[in-house]
């Protein structure tokens, strides 16, 4: 059904460019506020808790079936992922209006993307860490123990998005445009979960921004080191800058064209990830005989090339945006 509120989104007070400036100021204030706590954590003066204990329930009786529970806790990593999804959803709803896509369409799409994204991210991680799961494959289902891979999520979501837009005859490039910044803001927020888990860090370093890693989280005990590169932060900061740039130039990139925002995101994020993977000790890899293939770096290179390819095939395409009533 046609939504009159989408008839002319340019009449709305808030534009993508204004939103980019607001997000920039919020980001500056946020990092200023967490600056001191971050220094304390990185120096090892403060120890991060990975979970928040909310209570103890011995057991739960469901229709006569007793289910033992014990300590109930919430992992901060899960909270970061939850905030990331909510922020991504809000961004998608806002930007979809500039493509005359109703919020109800985004709602239905979001549910499928979350489900496919989680399954894809877990499957990708398990696939390239199969030696950890081959003795007890059931552990592959225990997603709450950690182990998600972004490129697995990306592949699964792209497949679902293609199926969804083909089914309802939507322009997939328009959807990719407003979803790209949505994914990016989720990546910025979600990466903070790595900090709480003391993961996604790089090799030992003596640089002044080095991060303390407790022995319980040190995946290479033979290194006999305590301070490492905060690789997750190397991804958060440039991702935030890329998000600002995409939103700031969103109107120009989507003017009579679709797909250019996604192209810029693919090339930009691929480059960022290609660089940050150099610093990650826990980077996914595939070993064939004696050849070690860095999975995420190869995926990043493919993503960069795909972004460049999309840019050149879409930059000359002229189209007229349709309202929901015209689809």
Residue 3's pLDDT band (boundaries 50, 70, 90)? very low
Instruction: Quote the pLDDT of residue 8.
Output: 56
Q: Which residues of 80-112 are buried (b: 16+ CB within 10 A; e: fewer)?
A: bbebbbebbbebbbbbbbbbbbbbebbeebbee
Instruction: Quote the pLDDT of residue 230.
Output: 94
CA distance 10 to 93: 15
- pLDDT > 70: percent of the chain: 84
Q: What are phi and psi of 110, to 5 degrees?
A: -60, -40
| pTM for the model | 0.88
- pLDDT > 90: percent of the chain: 59
The alpha carbon of residue 159 and the mean position of all alpha carbons in its chain are separated, in whole angstroms, by: 17
Q: With 90 as the cut, is the pLDDT of residue 301 above it? A: yes
In three-state secondary structure terms, 45 is: coil
Q: With 80 as the cut, is the pLDDT of residue 6 above it? A: no
CA distance 218 to 282: 11
Instruction: Quote the pLDDT of residue 61.
Output: 60
* pLDDT tens for each residue of 41-97: 999 999 888 877 776 666 666 666 665 666 677 888 889 999 999 999 999 999 999
More confidently predicted of 282 and 19: 19
Instruction: Quote the pLDDT of residue 65.
Output: 64
Q: H or E stretch including 137?
A: none
Residue 320's pLDDT band (boundaries 50, 70, 90)? low
Q: With 50 as the cut, is the pLDDT of residue 1 above it? A: no
Instruction: Quote the pLDDT of residue 306.
Output: 97
Q: With 90 as the cut, is the pLDDT of residue 239 above it? A: yes
* pLDDT tens for each residue of 176-230: 999 999 999 999 999 999 999 888 888 899 999 999 998 877 666 556 678 999 9
CB 188 within 8 A of CB 243: yes
* pLDDT tens for each residue of 102-118: 888 999 999 999 999 99
Instruction: Quote the pLDDT of residue 327.
Output: 43
CA distance 219 to 189: 24
**What are the C-alpha distances in Å from 91 to residues 23, 127, 247?**
11, 31, 10
Instruction: Quote the pLDDT of residue 325.
Output: 45
For 71, residues 6+ apart whose C-beta sits below 8 A from its C-beta are 53, 55, 56
The residue extents of the domains of the chain are 15-49+75-249
In three-state secondary structure terms, 312 is: helix
């Amino acid at each position: 059904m046609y939504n009159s509120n989408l008839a002319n989104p340019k009449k709305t007070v808030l534009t993508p460019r204004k939103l980019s400036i607001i997000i920039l100021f919020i980001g500056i204030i946020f990092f200023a506020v967490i600056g001191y706590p971050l220094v304390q954590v990185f120096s090892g003066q403060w120890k991060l808790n990975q979970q928040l204990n909310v209570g103890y329930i011995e057991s739960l009786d469901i229709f006569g079936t007793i289910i033992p529970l014990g300590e109930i806790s919430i992992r901060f990593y899960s909270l970061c992922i939850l905030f990331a999804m909510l922020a991504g959803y809000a961004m998608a709803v806002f930007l979809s209006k500039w493509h005359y896509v109703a919020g109800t369409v985004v709602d239905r799409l979001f549910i499928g993307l979350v489900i496919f994204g989680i399954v894809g991210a877990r499957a990708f991680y398990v696939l390239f860490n199969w030696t950890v799961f081959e003795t007890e494959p059931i552990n592959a289902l225990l997603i709450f123990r950690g182990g998600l891979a972004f490129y697995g999520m990306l592949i699964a979501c792209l497949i679902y998005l293609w199926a969804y837009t083909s089914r309802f005859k939507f322009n997939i490039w328009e959807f990719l445009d407003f979803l790209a910044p949505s994914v990016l803001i989720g990546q910025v927020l979600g990466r903070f979960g790595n900090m709480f888990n003391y993961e996604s860090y790089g090799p030992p370093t003596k640089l002044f921004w080095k991060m303390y890693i407790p022995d319980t989280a040190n995946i290479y005990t033979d290194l006999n080191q305590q301070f490492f590169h905060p690789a997750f932060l190397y991804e958060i900061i440039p991702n935030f800058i890329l998000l600002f740039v995409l939103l700031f130039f969103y109107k120009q990139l989507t003017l009579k064209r679709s797909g250019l925002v996604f192209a810029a995101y693919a090339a930009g994020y691929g480059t960022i990830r290609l660089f940050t993977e150099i610093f990650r000790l826990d980077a996914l890899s595939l070993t064939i005989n004696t050849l070690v293939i860095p999975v995420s770096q190869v995926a990043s290179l493919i993503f960069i090339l795909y972004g460049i390819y999309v840019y050149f095939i879409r930059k000359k395409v002229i189209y007229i945006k349709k309202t929901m009533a015209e689809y």
